[in-house]
Structure 1
């Protein structure tokens, strides 16, 4: 199933939840799937083949291809043991020119889809194979071709998306001209160049040759490539060209300046109404850089120490490199684009690193707080995201807070009369040894702990993953990337070694680049597998490569700012929740899940967090994938005489019963729930040792079981909740949840997925947000008294019809009396 069109606003629920008293405390052989319906199965496949040919023959004549199609691409939906190698080989017929172009897994059905190239001269091959299966037996009495045909579940005409490698959501609009990597069959490069000229595509002279494929760099639109795909059979794979910053890094400074200056002419100055900014705390910024100057006002270019100056110096241009990514993302895409850009956010910079030497370790927490308040004094009206990629390994002890991380929690918590603040922090870099890179780089990452201050509860900690695996530089023949596409970047750190009471870190991962090795004793950071960004010394260079968790955190801060600009009424807690809620594990990450044991799932959570966030999913809903947003506050505790006790829970009801069950009968739905709130830290030694002493309070969510009444549900939560932890809660129907309450309750953001049928879901319409203990309950004093303080929270609930193109959005919006509004 294709990614749904996201053109609907999320459903924002006005008004609080229902407050409820908290009353109590060798030779590979293909696997054959036997079939009893041999004749019917063969007839169905033959009919699907005929329909696929009709889809091709029914196309209008394209004047660029008067000779008509040279063949066809077919999608085969396969069953069997993950569509084993032997089965894929049986699909091919190399003598007839039939070959498998690409193989992928359909996330909706979990079946394997193989896209096969079928030349016009071999058009009848599969008809003959299906006919032989239906009418002939082997000497052993089995249907002929059974090892192939019994495992084919369906056949259909393929579209260009079938051979696209990557996330379909990343595809540009059909008419947008961008750079692509077109992988063609070996020896077909010249044929592709000829047909590309017919549809006005630009093909670079350089190409990369592999045993079965040639890779061409092509500039043009998806529509133009689709015309070639429909009329020829030269293409095998299509990828967005993202992994070629080396071309720009190797340019001399004058050539780089020409590209940068041209891009800067397309960079429109920020509108006066733009009041969202990313505040970068780093080594300073080279403000005159053409990609930065328009979005960094001189008043916003500051330094913590008056003698340092705000420019970037002493740290290899780290701050300027961060700035390029914060403003533009991977600068490579902007350089290769021809479109104008108007950004939704500005840049602010306070230099917190000295030009030489280091700050005393004990001052980092104070410097961080001072720098933020300094910029807030300059621009008090702005909504900002704090970005911090400066980290340290001192005093890191299996997730226990440090003075620096506690200072960040204090700064962001909203304690006293201060506002809540959103901070995005790099997880910190792992430095794996060469033997680890050659064998078990993930083992090295799992023993490298997330750095301080990234263990702070309230911040969004960003680790690094990578999709950059294309090493195109011919000087590096024999080298290969360490991390496979979609997996953890080799330099990222994790919280696998942390004790259970400390937060899951990182919460998300974003692109941080890769490393390459050559099988000997060398490893390297190569521009081909890194990001492109701004360089700090304009006398020597305008562009440079960059990566690691610093780059990932810059991209995370950029996404947070984009969301904050679009939803100015959302709290920092809500923006953090949306990013986590939109995150998904990539197929490569999911493949690391050896089993369903709690330890396996726990280790993946602490390595990848909740996955890679998706901006469009965080921004918009779809007809079959809706998101509800709640912002609310409850008072967790109350004083009763000389004692304190739990005070209230909030019940939120969601009208799942409004959905028509008939359209979803027999299909699974996915409900995801994310709860985000900020805690006020208790900077004391015992607070550092125990989470319910460190955090001012804790909140949890639970979903009503399908066989419970609301009264029974609330009574169960209150009965099972431990006074200090609330960790013994068991969701009714616990096997429906991906993580369960024991895994999802660390830290101050909790997210989980439920999967089941519509009938069961409609009996689970209530979500309860309830408190667990914290030092607000135990500590006397404060103004107002700690026990009388409210706790804000953001609750995000989404419902997704995973396997069906069914409108579940409209009935839910109607039941909630929310107008259905599409976006342009």
Structure 2
């Protein structure tokens, strides 16, 4: 059967979800551990007394600012024991405040660092005493769930709130730059203490709902003095000031083709309102294949003294990105004979300095400033921001950094800002020759996605390759590292991340290949297996080779801009979701699937994301492949009876019954559902416990099972216990799904495929979008600006009958009262 032409518009629907009341019954807390009450209470009382005494002995009257108290470390045997109990160690009042939570991946032990004022120490002591001496009406010890599960209490040191690899810490008396995370609204107090301690505090800050992040220059010894004399600090991290820009690319030739190609490049239509903003090393605007599409007014630098031009220091990385973001791989355009006019333009803000680095500023703030800077210059455009500058960060496991949280905040629309689409490269691994001569995928699976690509709201792009043809006779005895359709040799993955963090990369695009020679013990890039793009150093060359995840991110940005230009009514969440919705794993990727299916699909997701996006599929439907694009919102929470509760879910119904059951009998149908939304971040090391989630809220989708009535479907979602944000919910008829709820619910982008017969499909006509908890709900006090908010989402639903030419588009579109439009 020949491919059915994609000549029909997607069915676009807005605000069609029917709201329904929604409430959940949560799971119970952990069972108390059996203990000798008197002995356990005595041990904890002694430990608490010793910890407070140690704290008092370290205080310096000259350094005391604000509330005085003690940082205590509480140890729990496991995450399950800690998750629900840490709420008891925190208060909406400043008396007892949870600062940081760490889990030992080896032992499973959880350590919680809590800041407790002197006035609240007696209250904690009383909890222990009541556990020893009093009983509940049911005959159990008072406070048993909390007290029995505490393994130990000790005085906390500065290292208790350090996040990262301790082996990278400097000597205690060496002055370096640090990220200091403090409780919100304590910056003036901290700055005063820093002045007394003669620390250098950058004026650049990042502000989140519970935290402010400062950049501070000083020694560990001096920071420890502040730590023991105040209760403001919550986390300390190394300030990584040199990002990796993936710039080891060499120049290509073919200078004489540039003028001919430039003559065929038509200027953009004056009405173009779609753009790609490059945040990088600058762009050489004088390149003839860039100049018509980069207005001088939209060509800038974060620091005015830097100038907007690209630099030899970074080997023209920004100009290479710009060429791909505008043209894609240049080889096709150079060999063509037709004219070209693009439906998007370029913008550029240089964020890398001509000399030195940016040690006095947070890269998250620089990124935010650069985007706001271009928005002020050019406010009318539907903008895709492309960032291929990343850092090999020591925040492992996918947990947020200040930079990734700043990306999430920028994209989220927090504080009445617009939502934004930000494309970030996953970051490159650095394999040795030994790695690439062996199974290079093993090395890739250990190479974690770089910061800030763990951002939930970003479209994170890894690299795969179809470049497997080396024609250079000089390299006849060299071999290709990656086979056709598999991961590029330098792409990073989230294979080793904790399950609570998002699936990254989201998609993969062409990033080129490497070649290797075992006899010579060498490996290298080669222009035969790389992409062609614009060079910055015009006296030397017009074109150059390029690759890796930078190239993949530039291609994804071009794809997103083209999709946004064709659909200016799409939200950023929708464009991100449509690229994922159109993606699929290649045959080479599917060949790595292992059994059982849950483990095999997890491997594919964490290595390749959802696969390679297909722009044709993202842009248009076919008669046997219909896509419905829905933009909607719901209000996830409400404040009632003195507490915040879940509030609303939306039901979407689809007219599968309009299809001809007889004509489609025996044909496998494929239903794909993708849900895309943005969260508002609240970063801290408390993120895995229930009340202090990183995300403001979560949304999930569920599809009615073939054997369910709509009422039993709604009841299943209403009453299912939800111990871990929906990971336990199983769609009725779960065997039809490729991934299932356990795999697809990480992050804020969820996609899955259902396959089955037409009779089963027609009984699955309803999809529910429902909320799960987040800090909008769990933040105490019921503050209206948190719980009283709508959460918008994009829902993409595709139905395919890939084995037949039967028209399924027309009956469904007609049932939805959407006119059928076929392009000539």
Q: What's the TM-score, normalizing by structure 2?
A: 0.71
CA distance 1:510–1:782, shift in 2 (3 Å)? farther
Structure 1 equivalent of residue 53 of structure 2: none
Write the deviation string for residues 26-69 of structure 1: whole angstroms up to 9, x where unpaired.
Answer: xxxxxxxxxxxxxxxxxxxxxxxxxxxxxxxxxxxxxxxxxxxx
Q: Residue 424 of structure 1 contacts residue 460 of structure 1 at CA under 8 Å; is this kept in 2?
A: yes
CA distance 1:690–1:368, shift in 2 (3 Å)? farther
Structure 2 equivalent of residue 482 of structure 1: 481
Q: Residue 705 of structure 1 contacts residue 763 of structure 1 at CA under 8 Å; is this kept in 2?
A: yes
Structure 2 equivalent of residue 291 of structure 1: 289
| Aligned-partner Cα distance in 1 for 2:692–2:700 | 13
1:731 maps to 2:728 = no
Structure 2 equivalent of residue 720 of structure 1: 720
Structure 1 equivalent of residue 403 of structure 2: 404
Secondary structure class of the residue paired with 2:455: coil
Q: CA deviation at 1:518?
A: 1.2
Query: Superposed, which structure 2 residues align to 1:571-720 within 5 Å?
Result: 571-687=571-687, 693-720=693-720
Structure 2 equivalent of residue 554 of structure 1: 554
| Aligned-partner Cα distance in 2 for 1:682–1:802 | 43
Q: CA deviation at 1:719?
A: 1.3
| Aligned-partner Cα distance in 2 for 1:326–1:725 | 37
Write the deviation string for residues 225-277 of structure 1: whole angstroms up to 9, x where unpaired.
Answer: xxxxxxxxxxxxxxxxxxxxxxx9654xxxx3320111011111111100111
Structure 1 equivalent of residue 302 of structure 2: 304
Write the deviation string for residues 516-573 of structure 1: whole angstroms up to 9, x where unpaired.
Answer: 0012310011000000000001111111000000000000000000000000000000
| Aligned-partner Cα distance in 1 for 2:332–2:491 | 24
Structure 2 equivalent of residue 533 of structure 1: 533
Q: CA deviation at 1:724?
A: 5.5
Q: CA deviation at 1:23?
A: 3.5
Q: CA deviation at 1:764?
A: 0.3
1:270 maps to 2:253 = no
Structure 2 equivalent of residue 194 of structure 1: none
Structure 1 equivalent of residue 193 of structure 2: none
| Aligned-partner Cα distance in 2 for 1:821–1:688 | 48
Q: Residue 674 of structure 2 contacts residue 796 of structure 2 at CA under 8 Å; is this kept in 1?
A: yes
Aligned mate of 1:259, from 239, 257, 260: 257
Secondary structure class of the residue paired with 1:9: coil
| Aligned-partner Cα distance in 1 for 2:657–2:733 | 19
Q: CA deviation at 1:784?
A: 5.2
| Aligned-partner Cα distance in 1 for 2:745–2:510 | 27
Q: Which runs of 5+ in 1 are unaligned?
A: 26-247
Structure 2 equivalent of residue 54 of structure 1: none
Q: Residue 22 of structure 2 contacts residue 718 of structure 2 at CA under 8 Å; is this kept in 1?
A: yes
Q: Residue 583 of structure 1 contacts residue 613 of structure 1 at CA under 8 Å; is this kept in 2?
A: yes
Secondary structure class of the residue paired with 2:518: coil
Q: CA deviation at 1:433?
A: 1.5
CA distance 1:312–1:386, shift in 2 (3 Å)? same
Q: Residue 724 of structure 1 contacts residue 772 of structure 1 at CA under 8 Å; is this kept in 2?
A: no
Structure 1 equivalent of residue 335 of structure 2: 336
| Aligned-partner Cα distance in 2 for 1:276–1:250 | 30
Secondary structure class of the residue paired with 1:555: helix
Write the deviation string for residues 345-385 of structure 1: whole angstroms up to 9, x where unpaired.
Answer: 01000000011222228510000000000000001111100
| Aligned-partner Cα distance in 2 for 1:20–1:633 | 12
Q: CA deviation at 1:723?
A: 6.1
Q: CA deviation at 1:718?
A: 1.5
Structure 2 equivalent of residue 65 of structure 1: none
Q: Which runs of 5+ in 2 are unaligned?
A: 26-249
Write the deviation string for residues 615-659 of structure 1: whole angstroms up to 9, x where unpaired.
Answer: 000000000000001000000000003111000000000000000
| Aligned-partner Cα distance in 2 for 1:23–1:321 | 51
| Aligned-partner Cα distance in 2 for 1:793–1:692 | 22
Q: Residue 395 of structure 1 contacts residue 402 of structure 1 at CA under 8 Å; is this kept in 2?
A: no
Q: Residue 686 of structure 1 contacts residue 693 of structure 1 at CA under 8 Å; is this kept in 2?
A: yes
1:426 maps to 2:425 = yes
CA distance 1:12–1:691, shift in 2 (3 Å)? farther
Structure 1 equivalent of residue 812 of structure 2: 812
| Aligned-partner Cα distance in 1 for 2:796–2:359 | 41
| Aligned-partner Cα distance in 2 for 1:433–1:527 | 20
| Aligned-partner Cα distance in 2 for 1:429–1:458 | 20
Secondary structure class of the residue paired with 2:795: strand
Write the deviation string for residues 178-213 of structure 1: whole angstroms up to 9, x where unpaired.
Answer: xxxxxxxxxxxxxxxxxxxxxxxxxxxxxxxxxxxx
| Aligned-partner Cα distance in 1 for 2:811–2:699 | 30
Structure 1 equivalent of residue 456 of structure 2: 457
| Aligned-partner Cα distance in 2 for 1:545–1:657 | 52
| Aligned-partner Cα distance in 2 for 1:568–1:782 | 37
Query: Superposed, which structure 2 residues align to 1:106-117 within 5 Å?
Result: none
Q: CA deviation at 1:596?
A: 3.9
Structure 2 equivalent of residue 512 of structure 1: 511
Q: Residue 352 of structure 1 contacts residue 367 of structure 1 at CA under 8 Å; is this kept in 2?
A: yes
| Aligned-partner Cα distance in 2 for 1:726–1:720 | 9
| Aligned-partner Cα distance in 2 for 1:746–1:264 | 45
CA distance 1:547–1:495, shift in 2 (3 Å)? same
Q: CA deviation at 1:339?
A: 1.0
Write the deviation string for residues 95-126 of structure 1: whole angstroms up to 9, x where unpaired.
Answer: xxxxxxxxxxxxxxxxxxxxxxxxxxxxxxxx
Q: CA deviation at 1:690?
A: 7.1
Q: CA deviation at 1:780?
A: 4.8
CA distance 1:459–1:691, shift in 2 (3 Å)? farther
Q: CA deviation at 1:688?
A: 7.0
Secondary structure class of the residue paired with 2:681: coil
Write the deviation string for residues 572-592 of structure 1: whole angstroms up to 9, x where unpaired.
Answer: 000001000000100110111
Q: How many residues align?
A: 598
Structure 2 equivalent of residue 279 of structure 1: 277
| Aligned-partner Cα distance in 1 for 2:354–2:252 | 28
Q: Residue 252 of structure 2 contacts residue 541 of structure 2 at CA under 8 Å; is this kept in 1?
A: no
CA distance 1:361–1:408, shift in 2 (3 Å)? farther
Q: Which moved more, 1:799-808 or 1:721-730?
A: 721-730
Structure 1 equivalent of residue 383 of structure 2: 384
Q: Residue 636 of structure 1 contacts residue 791 of structure 1 at CA under 8 Å; is this kept in 2?
A: yes
| Aligned-partner Cα distance in 2 for 1:400–1:810 | 46
Secondary structure class of the residue paired with 1:8: coil
| Aligned-partner Cα distance in 1 for 2:778–2:691 | 13
Structure 2 equivalent of residue 55 of structure 1: none
Structure 2 equivalent of residue 501 of structure 1: 500
Q: Which moved more, 1:487-496 or 1:16-25?
A: 16-25
Q: Residue 400 of structure 1 contacts residue 688 of structure 1 at CA under 8 Å; is this kept in 2?
A: no
Write the deviation string for residues 771-817 of structure 1: whole angstroms up to 9, x where unpaired.
Answer: 00000002257985210100000000000002111100000011111
Q: Residue 396 of structure 1 contacts residue 449 of structure 1 at CA under 8 Å; is this kept in 2?
A: no
Structure 1 equivalent of residue 130 of structure 2: none
| Aligned-partner Cα distance in 2 for 1:721–1:800 | 33
Secondary structure class of the residue paired with 2:423: strand
| Aligned-partner Cα distance in 1 for 2:776–2:396 | 25
Q: Residue 644 of structure 2 contacts residue 782 of structure 2 at CA under 8 Å; is this kept in 1?
A: no
| Aligned-partner Cα distance in 2 for 1:437–1:639 | 56
| Aligned-partner Cα distance in 1 for 2:739–2:507 | 16
Choose between structure 1 and 2 for higher RCO, CA contacts under 8 A separated by at least 6 residues: 2
Q: CA deviation at 1:394?
A: 1.9
